[in-house]
Structure formats: structure tokens, C-alpha cells
Amino acid sequence: MKSQEARQLFKLVRNISFPSYAMRAPSSNDWCARKRSGYTRFAFYWPSGEPCVPVEMYLDHRAAELTSDADRGGSLRAEASAISHIVRYCAQEKIRFREINDADFSAFTDSLVIERGTRRDGWSARGANAVNSIISVSIRFLFWYQRQFDLSQPLVGTVDDDDARILLMRQKIKHFTGRMIEALAYPDRPQSEPPVPKSPLPDKHIKRLWEAASAPQTQCKRSILPESSSATSARDLQREYLYRRRIVTLMIMEETGLRPGELCLMKCQPHINILSSRNLHIPTLKRREGPPFVRTLPCSLELASAIKQLLTARENFLRSLSIRPRALAEEHEILFIDIRGAAMRASSLEREFSRLRARAGITKPDRACFSMYRHRFLSRRAAFYIKAFRLENCDPNTGGLPFTDDTMILGRLVELTGRKTLASLRPYIDLGWKELDVFTSIDSAIASDDAIRSAIHRLNQLCIEIANTGDKIKAHRILLEVDEITKRLVELKNAFQRTAASKPSG
């Protein structure tokens, strides 16, 4: 067990109820409370295990501005994690929040800088940007604390404020929109470092992930199916569904770059006729207000076929379960389910991807993750759009695209991601230029490029299936599918040649 000093100070609480208002019944003259439910909040504790009520109140206040999904807690979890440091410091020094002064806060920031990590000996536990983020959250909390409670002396303020315990200075900073704004900042903070964005997922890692996903699974490690004469076929249905789920995960991440939480919200009903519609219906989690809106994106025929096979495998797998998990799955209609019929969580999907990454021999998590799929997808799309909107006098070495064309490209990327602002997508313009410098086949149409890549993945899967099957009928069916995909690749190749011959070079 972890010691009191090392354990996590907060816990995610789901499906809680808050008092909303009270109502009195005229007939009985009795009062009853009306409650609102469905919120996700955090219970927060001191290292001793006692409830830390001020921080819980602060997090409830911040929940109106931050996301707090029921799976992992969203950005509200990051706020709770950052504020844990000032709570630990106060508990260690045996001081209350209202007693913190400038010397205490300076010692607190110094401890953040000099603390060493446990996984890499001699290295700092966190970078300068992480330290600055913790300082900003702590200052925000102390501002809220002095407004919420009647203090005889303010905790934070500038030299103009009377007797402020912690002095801040006014600084001009660059807002994420690009304009300069004035803000209060703690003077004794480390110099910020330029962020190092994750690179797009390379082709060599994608190939290794496909090989690991397509390899046959000899056994099912976890199963709720009983040991009986019919258990073998039932476990085969479970194994088939898990296999199809892995394949769809890799294909849909490569074609859409969606977030794991969005994948876990996709429903079955909108995709029943996906072979004819060839459209994906993806909820977006990037916006905070209201329920997630659903964006529609086209998909390749190979992905549509894989989702159709997943729907069939899901239905067959559910028939092998008992009545209760089957009814649960029919109620929520989520495409991705776990072995108990419940809707799969994003954290579970990430753990499954971690196991797949380990089987692929990719040892470091920062070399293959879901966000790198998204960077790859958006970088390639930016490269396509740059090529389409590029003007004759456009040179990436002298400023890139004209501003109007830059905005048009970012607008297209916003449609694909569901984001509200263009500024957060601007780094993909530079990544798009890098893609144009690396890939010589960038003139190909997006749909044809996705179709060829998906067809190649499917051919690799079929080759592995042929090598691991002793059933002649199944092998014959697989060979027929290989023949169909080969014909499709020939058609795409001819289409590329006709396109290249009809367009002038340059």
C-alpha cells in the first residue's frame, strides 16, 4: 500500500446528486428537496485522510468552466492533480491556507523545481512548464479562497493591494488567440520552455501494430463464460468480437484520428447500413456545453466492411451471454462493449492499446499512442489541403500560405475535429508542410489514398489468416476476398495513372 504522503488525494465520484431547491406541499405543509443528478465531481482529502472541504468547494466552482466526463474526470481531473501539491505542502508544514505568506509560497515553488523523479534517477520530477502550470492553479485557488472566505488580510495581490501576503506582478502575455493581454503572474517562477509536440505516428510503428493485432490469440485470459461443453464455441465468439474490435480501432484511428472517448460513444444504430452510406457518425467531446454533437465523416469501403463485421461479431457474442448483460448492451447500443456487455470506457480502450503496443515490441509509450494517430491524420489532411490551396508565389520558407488560404485549411480541420477555434490547429499547417516534403505521392486524392492503405492492411490480415487456418473452405473464402482486393488495387493504380497523365506537373 502507498504511504499517506504518496497516495492520491482525490477520488472521482460518479452519478451524484446535488440539492437544487426546496418545495413545500400546500396540502401537507411539508418541505421536500429537489435534486439534480448526473454530475461528476471529485472527493478531495488531506494526506491524513480527512476531507479537504475548501478544495472540494473550489473544484465544484471550477466544474462550470472545465470538462468533467464520467470516465476519467476530464480537465477537472488535471486541476485536482495540480492543486494536490499545495495541499501536500500545507499539510507537511502544518499551516492553513489562510496562513500562507510569500516565504511559504516561495519555498513551495522551490520544492517543485528541485524535486527529483523516481522513474529516472537524477532527473527533475517535472519540467518548467509543468511547474508553471501548478503555480498558476495554486494562485487561482488562493484568489478564489480569499474571495470565498472573509479574511482579515488578503492572500494574493499586487503592490497596490494593502498587506497582500503573496505579491504578484503584472505581465504582458500572449493569449492563445495571438493577441497580447495583461495578467498577474508570480515573479519567482521558472522560465517557460517551448512545448515539444508529439510527432505523427510513423509508418513502421503502424505496421508493427497491425502485425500484432492480426496475430491469432491462442487463449482468452479473462472470461466470464462458464466452463461447459458449449463454452468453447462461446469463447470463440468472444475471441472473434475482440479481434474485430482491435481491427476497427486501428482502422478508424488511422482514417479519422478521433479521440478514444469519442470512439467509446459511437452507437450501433447509425452504422447498420454503413456499407451503403459509407459515413461514420462520431460524437465529439471537445466542446463543453450541452450533449456531444455528432459529426459525420466519410470512410473507406474497407473500414465500412470492418465495422459491418464488428456489428455481426457483436451480435453473435451477445447471444452467448446471459440475459442481464445482453439487455444492458441492447439498452445503451454502444458499438464497443467489454466482455460483460457494458459500454467500454476510454481508459479501458487505452489499456488495451497499451497491451497491443507491448505485443508489437514498442516499449516506450511516447512512441505510439492514440494522440499520435490524431497528429498523423491531421498532418496528412493539412498536407492535402495545402496542395489544393497553394498559390504560385507560395513558399513555406517565406511565411507559408497567405493568411486567407491558411484560414480556409484550418476551417476544414475544424470540421474534422469538432474544435471551436482555429488557433489550436495552427501547428498542423507546419506539420502539413513537412508531410509534403516527405511524401512524393501527395497529389493522390484523399479517398484513394485511404482506400489503398486500408486494402493493404486487409491483405496483410488475410495472409496471416491463411497461414493460421487449416480449414480449406475458410481458406478458399479468404483467397476469394484477396482476389477482390487485388482487383480493387489495380483499379486504384490505373486511376492514379490517369490522374497523373491528365494534370500538368508542378
Are the C-beta atoms of residues 224 and 340 closer than 8 Å to each other?
yes
Grid coordinates given for 232 = 468453447
Enumerate the β-bridge partners of residue 169. Answer: 185
Enumerate the β-bridge partners of residue 19. Answer: 35
pLDDT at 53 over 50: yes
Grid coordinates given for 231 = 463454452
Rg (CA), the chain: 27
For the chain, give the mean pLDDT: 76
Q: Are strands 166-167 and 156-157 parallel, antiparallel or unpaired?
A: parallel
Confidence of residue 442 (pLDDT cuts 50, 70, 90): very low
Torsion, Cα 59 60 61 67, to 10 degrees, reads 80
Grid coordinates given for 482 = 484477396
**How far apart, in whole angstroms, are the C-alpha atoms of residue 236 and residue 71?**
29
**How far apart, in whole angstroms, are the C-alpha atoms of residue 196 and residue 193?**
9
Amino acid at 188: D
Are the C-beta atoms of residues 189 and 132 closer than 8 Å to each other?
yes
- The total of other beta-carbon atoms located within 10 Å of residue 246's CB is 20
**How far apart, in whole angstroms, are the C-alpha atoms of residue 173 and residue 185?**
10
Are the C-beta atoms of residues 478 and 469 closer than 8 Å to each other?
yes
For the chain, helix (H) and strand (E) counts, in that order, are 16, 8
For the ranges 34-38, 401-405, 489-493, the lowest mean pLDDT is seen at 401-405
Which bin fits 149, alpha (ψ -120 to 50), beta or left (φ > 0)?
A: beta
pLDDT tens-digit profile of 89-115? 999 999 999 888 888 988 998 888 888
Distance from CA of residue 438 to its chain's centroid? 27
pLDDT tens-digit profile of 122-146? 567 777 888 888 998 999 999 899 8
Are the C-beta atoms of residues 154 and 100 closer than 8 Å to each other?
no
Tell the residue number behind the cell numbers 491463411, with chain if given: 466
**How far apart, in whole angstroms, are the C-alpha atoms of residue 85 and residue 90?**
9
pLDDT at 485 over 60: yes
pLDDT tens-digit profile of 211-220? 888 876 554 4
Average pLDDT over every residue of 198-202? 76
Are the C-beta atoms of residues 44 and 59 closer than 8 Å to each other?
yes
- Using CA atoms, how far residue 397 sits from 236, 400, 407, in Å, is 56, 7, 19
pLDDT at 338 over 60: yes
For the ranges 50-59, 104-113, 205-214, 392-401, the lowest mean pLDDT is seen at 392-401
Are the C-beta atoms of residues 184 and 170 closer than 8 Å to each other?
yes
Confidence of residue 229 (pLDDT cuts 50, 70, 90): very low
**How far apart, in whole angstroms, are the C-alpha atoms of residue 13 and residue 470?**
50
Q: Please name the residues in contact with 299: beta carbons below 8 A apart, sequence gap of 6 or more.
A: 252, 255, 256, 274, 278, 279, 280, 307, 450
Average pLDDT over every residue of 295-310? 89
- Listed in sequence order, the DSSP H helices in 186-230 are 203-214
Higher pLDDT, residue 230 or 464 = 464
Mutual orientation of helices 370-389 and 446-467 as an angle, nearest 10°?
140
Phi, psi for residue 214 in degrees, rounded to 5 = -85, -15
Give the per-residue pLDDT at 86: 93
Grid coordinates given for 365 = 509509450
Confidence of residue 1 (pLDDT cuts 50, 70, 90): very low
* Collapsed DSSP state (helix, strand, coil) of residue 83: helix
Q: Please name the residues in contact with 201: beta carbons below 8 A apart, sequence gap of 6 or more.
A: 368, 372, 373, 375, 376
Give the per-residue pLDDT at 500: 52
Please, what's the b/e burial string for 405-433 (b: 16 or more CB within 10 A of its CB; e: otherwise)? bbeebbebbbebbbbeeeeebbebbebbb
Are the C-beta atoms of residues 335 and 310 closer than 8 Å to each other?
yes
**How far apart, in whole angstroms, are the C-alpha atoms of residue 155 and residue 100?**
7
Tell me the pTM: 0.60
Enumerate the β-bridge partners of residue 33. Answer: 22
Nearest to 377 by CA among 285, 488, 299: 299
Amino acid at 56: E
Q: Is 88 exposed, middle or buried (0-12, 13-18, 19+ CB in 10 A)?
A: middle
In the DSSP assignment, the letter for residue 10 is: E
Q: Please name the residues in contact with 466: beta carbons below 8 A apart, sequence gap of 6 or more.
A: 475, 478, 479
- Between the two ends of the chain, the Cα-to-Cα distance in Å is 65
